[in-house]
Structure 1
């Protein structure tokens, strides 16, 4: 990828439509991303500023974001200074990866103020900074950088803003032909010019001066087959877009979404992983204890033998050897000298009964632990396939099942409906994206004759063909592909998927959401195709 100075130069030109616009809304949907809604030229535009170390960028976006209920301190301060203000000017600093939004607003007593919102897109050093221009003081920033982190400059409220270190490199867009010629001859484009990343350097090297200038200024919003993007043409193998912002929306649709899910779901993922580890460790311990109960039968035999040969049992010896008629071999039995022979026999019977009860108890406990592991593995699978809005549903599910404690709850989380997909023949297929949705799909939305699908012996979604008691083979295969795709086997070939009528499913009393039992199922083998599945999704 190549969000270098050249890319930001062209993006800055694309953002000029915001000049004169009024900032209406300010939100921070994710830790390192800011979204401003700007009303300009009779339209509302969403401006995305990202200080992410990998996905940092500035663009217009059409992506819808779910904003947190409680705004951050950074957002509260931005709203105080920027809500209702106007963007007077948007400029790039040279050809560096810094863009400044010059904003006019009014202070608390109505006097005009000049504010700058600066986005520095510099990898792990990326930041978004609110600056009072007259004094040069930092009002707030999305990342605080103290002296211990950076001795050259601090990014803290109240400190004086210092620009990133300057170099002797020059802006290629205002360079002389002589400088361009010398740089091309010596193959030193990145040393001579600002903001030329590796991808751009490779595309611009070896050209004539005129071709260099033409390629530099010719905007080609493009994504390449080797997973790169650029504002200039790199190779002949690319897909072209109408503008840079549209291209970035497409390019980051999955990449940024996965990262956002990790940000939003990090505490939930950690909780599930910890609970899984705890239950797996518990299962090992329980199975070890259960294996120790194998001695129960031996204790019973020893008690029986002591009773049978009571006259041969001494009162003054620590053990006795008796003929074991269960095995036809002699057996040595330890004795407690403080007990009579009858009491020793009773002691062995007592130990036998205790271990017998332990077998029953441990069997029940092991079954419960296995069910907990199965449930948590299904939640883990759901998290791996969830988008940002669905994380709240999974968190609510874990609250309801007691894995996450929440002291104060004003009202129950409103759940998203199951996802819908359309089969080739028009049949609607429902997919549960979490265990509460799985319950809904399987037991509330199913009707007589509806076919139910679930990947075999692997955590995954419940899938239901609705309203078509005689679906075609093509529809059955597609439903099976959905079940395989929304499971841990999504990247496998020939995945086994169980199929049966929903009415034949059973839910044991007291089991976790999404847990079902069944038999007499049929099994099909499918290979999910991600592109086909995404194309057949129906918006919620």
Structure 2
């Protein structure tokens, strides 16, 4: 009985063996072309397509093709990660420009404080708003008030907010300049990635540059839950998180609520009873959570970093010193019917944190998009 012939590999890297009804078989390539029948008809295998008979050469070609495909995927993942980082920096720059835009309200805040100070005696106690005479224009200015406090006492709040905006200007302008420099560098990198060959020797230095500009290793590798993995169709996009994550100098995670309703979600759904919860004292601001192991205490440097973020993401932004309340999450509760973000808490401790520009810039640069 004759033995089957030796075959070279298909250039497509795939062969399909189709059994027949009476012991015969057909061998097809990836495109469905007939390579041969077995047993042979007419005494010899019937080959429709000729392939190299050297299996080592064919295997080397397949390995090279596989390497090329992997490098192409690596380049695509790198391009996506860099694009994601550029978009994040653009959002950050826009947010800082918005903060700087509020500086235009300094004069209005100071003027409102002066008018309240001069005319507060005419405002009825418990009023939710006041209609003040504008001496400059001869018209009226309507001012929203806290009914629980005398109008004159609230004048200082307008002066304090104006001072915060003024003191925060230098920090905001420095952060905007830093963000714009990073944007310029990431745009140059994006162009270099697009022009690079899909070869490890070309991509490795670009990946190193990407990491130095804040692109995470997980995004570069296309791990599950990263933008790269989503773009590759590795699963549905991750749900929107109600917080932004930052990192302390020691690498500890610090979670900052993104808005009033997000604060509620962070505190009531994500934070665990033994986590540390922080909030700028006496002003509106984000809830901040430091995840901790059960029974662990928060290191002093992480506490200062978290308190710095709590102060920055509050109406105390721009103050040189800010008092920040902190308690275990177990002592924070949300009253029924309370407004979004409004909570009450017991066993409060307070830290007076001095805002250091270097510390704040370092923390803001660690923001993890998600």
TM normalised by structure 2 equals 0.39
Q: Which has the higher contact order (CA 8 A, sep 6+)?
A: 2
TM normalised by structure 1 equals 0.28
Which of the two has greater strand per residue? 1
